[in-house]
Amino acid sequence: MPAPAASPLLLGVSLKMYFGHHQTLNWSRRIAALAERHPAVTSGAARLFVLPAFPALVPATGILAPYGVALGAQDIATEDTGPYTGEVGGPLLKEIGCRYAEVGHAERRRLYGEGDTVVAAKTAAALRNGLTPVLCVGERDEADPADAAARTVAEAEPL
């Protein structure tokens, strides 16, 4: 009996706020060129996704999607619509072509106080809207590997 086919390797990157708008689009063009010719991507052995800053999502999708590179948001609101200034809901992210939404990043936990309840609500919002949540756990600070693994498991359990 043949061995089951391996799932493709999923590789993603969050650009955070490191690049300006034009730099993000130029970088996206380079990634598109790489994805178009890289054997791991063209064979389906690897799938790529990028999480650019919100203003670059639509144009970056136009650049990357034709080459099989998926896009996602660096955050998602807990609510789909409503009076939430500055938030971006799942329906809008889905509408513009996002496939992923990052939730629970250590920076958002630390800087904005997003605890497990908020992370769980954002995870639910992503799933409710057909987005794959990119759940970040265990990256508070440097620790030895055993402690980091234990904290990661403890942080993921309630979610």
Question: What is the model's pLDDT at position 6?
Answer: 79
pLDDT, tens digit, 9 for 90 and up, residues 80-126:
999 999 999 999 999 999 999 999 999 999 999 999 999 999 999 99
Q: What is the 3-state secondary structure (H, E, C) of the chain?
A: CCCCCCCCEEEEEECCCCCCHHHHHHHHHHHHHHHHHCHHHHCCCEEEEEECCHHHHHHHHHHHHHHCCEEEECCCCCCCCCCCCCCCCHHHHHHCCCCEEEECCHHHHHHHCCCHHHHHHHHHHHHHCCCEEEECCCCCCCCCHHHHHHHHHHHHCCC
List pLDDT tens digits, range 21-78: 999 999 999 999 999 999 999 999 999 999 999 999 999 999 999 999 999 999 999 9
pLDDT beyond 60 at 159: no
Q: Look at residue 2 in the predicted model and tell me its pLDDT.
A: 62
* pLDDT score recorded for residue 100: 99
